[in-house]
Amino acid sequence: MKTITDYQNKNILVLGMAKSGYAAAVLLKKLGANVIVNDSKPLAENPLATELQGQGMEVVCGGHPLELLEKNISLVVKNPGIPYSNPLLVAAKEKNIPIVTEVELAYRISEAPFIGITGSNGKTTTTTLTFEMLKEGEKHPVIAGNIGTVACEVAQDVTEQQVVVTELSSFQLMGIETFQPKIAVLLNLFEAHLDYHGTKKEYGLAKANIFRNQTENDYSIINADDEDVMMLIEQSKGQKVYFSTTKMIEDGACVKDGALYFKGEKVIDIQDIVLPGKHNLENILAAMSIAKLMGVANEAIIAVLKRFTGVKHRLEYVTTIGNRKFYNDSKATNMLATEKALSAFTQPVILLAGGLDRGNEFDDLIPYFGHVKALLTFGQTAPKLVKAAEKAGMKVIKRVDNVEQAVQEAYALSEEGDVILLSPACASWDQFKTFEERGDMFIQAVHKLV
């Protein structure tokens, strides 16, 4: 860990607990800061805050009092999920107090370079693939950010010989100042998190922050098939490396003659890749580009792609029962993810979908319903999904109470050769704490069928 004195004897406010807030508070105390922890949850229901209080930190719980800013605060480290419209953050901004997220702290103390991966879809798959390729290529990676360990925990132990591979959200990237990944990736962009960002433009600008501090010594990897991404890349000073599944790319990654190429060199035949879905070729091309730029041999990349079947809850193969294949795509928390999941199959699909209502309709799914023989829908958005399925002329549409019922009904309706797919197209928070919990319920329900 780099020895830095920036925070010594400074009053720093950590806003919001969870794992990232806890890790940031512990690190800042280690760096000599006077840490004040603030969380909306009452102390009695807040074991992490209680633990920090036991370590001698000032802890204020049960709300976000503006009086905290009267304590000569030098910096606010906020939980990524807390919106900038929070009155405490609005007041901090008015006082010109810097506001960052913990990934900024991680970057400042890390001896190892960072790889940053963001986008509306495919981040987890691309990050995991990158980690596996670098590991196979003996580049000593660690994985952090939205998957793996909190970045500022990981950054304390890494050396110059390692590399930190991070999956980054738009929320995290809004809170950076000096963060400068050696390799930055923007996979794609479409309307998401508008309840947080307000407009797609603001959302895109938040994502583009991943390139903000790069120089000509860094690399910016860009999806050449996404017009919005191509517009955002203009501000990057990094060396631009493009990938495409539809265009020939001489100085980047592309698909040609049934194989994947990087800078004109064939890496692997598509038929040797086990990860399903055309959309995953984009994620693979991005991860392959990172690996090649990091000096990983083709043999290591091929070895990973011949065994990597996907990440949990992202088009995850569960099992086959009665010649019906079950896939868990609970991480599909928006329509684009479900569109890509449906596009991955040619056989008849029974779709399980529904969840939190964020105000959107589901007509964009209609073109992808051609091989969907039945819809089982649940949650707040069930009526809207029913409406879209009816517009598509789908014959079998059923509303159920939950995922477990959906699995039972889907199996009863299915025939040999069908795919039964959980791909909700919605966030899970109407019925579950996380999409992982939703996916686990699906898996448990499937295994109960045996």
Task: Write out pLDDT tens, residues 409-447.
Answer: 999 999 999 999 999 999 999 999 899 999 999 999 999
**Mean pLDDT, range 49-66, rounded to an integer:** 95
Sole residue written with tokens 């007041």: 91
Beta-strand (E) ranges in 30-83? 34-39, 58-61, 73-78
pLDDT in tens, 219-246: 999 999 999 999 998 779 999 999 999 9
The whole-chain average pLDDT of the chain stands at 94
Q: Which residue has the tokens 């913990």?
A: 102
- Asked whether residue 119 carries a pLDDT value surpassing 60, the answer given is yes
Give dist(CA 139, CA 131) in Å, integer. 9
DSSP-derived 3-state class of residue 62: coil
Pairwise CA distance, residues 393 & 159, whole Å: 58
pLDDT at 196: 61
Residues 305/126, Cβ–Cβ less than 8 Å:
no
Closest-CA residue to 356 (of 412, 269, 434, 300)? 434
Q: DSSP assignment of 271-307, as one string?
A: GG--S--THHHHHHHHHHHHHHHTT--HHHHHHHHTT
Rounded mean pLDDT of 155-172?
95
- What percent of the chain clears pLDDT 70, i.e. is strictly above it? 98
Coil, helix or strand for 206?
A: helix
pLDDT greater than 60 at residue 124: yes
Average pLDDT over residues 199-204: 82
Domains of the chain in sequence order: 11-100 (3.40.50.720), 110-305 (3.40.1190.10), 316-448 (3.90.190.20)
Q: Provide CB contacts within 8 A for 128, sequence distance 6+.
A: 143, 147, 308, 311
Annotation: binding site for ATP: 119-125
pLDDT for the residue numbered 276: 78
- Using CB atoms within 10 Å of the CB of residue 437, give its burial: 0 to 12 exposed, 13 to 18 middle, 19+ buried: middle
Higher-confidence residue: 210 or 340?
A: 210
Instruction: Show the tokens assigned to 321.
Output: 């029962």
Partnered with residue 78 across adjacent β-strands are 15
More confident position, 382 or 344:
382
- Tokens in use for 243? 């990938």
Q: DSSP 3-state assignment of 57?
A: coil
Q: What is the pLDDT of residue 194?
A: 59
pTM of the model as a whole: 0.82
The pLDDT of 179-203, averaged and rounded, is 81
Binding residues: 119-125
- CA neighbours within 13 Å on the CB side: how many for 4? 17
Please, which pLDDT band fits residue 147 given cuts at 50, 70 and 90? Answer: confident
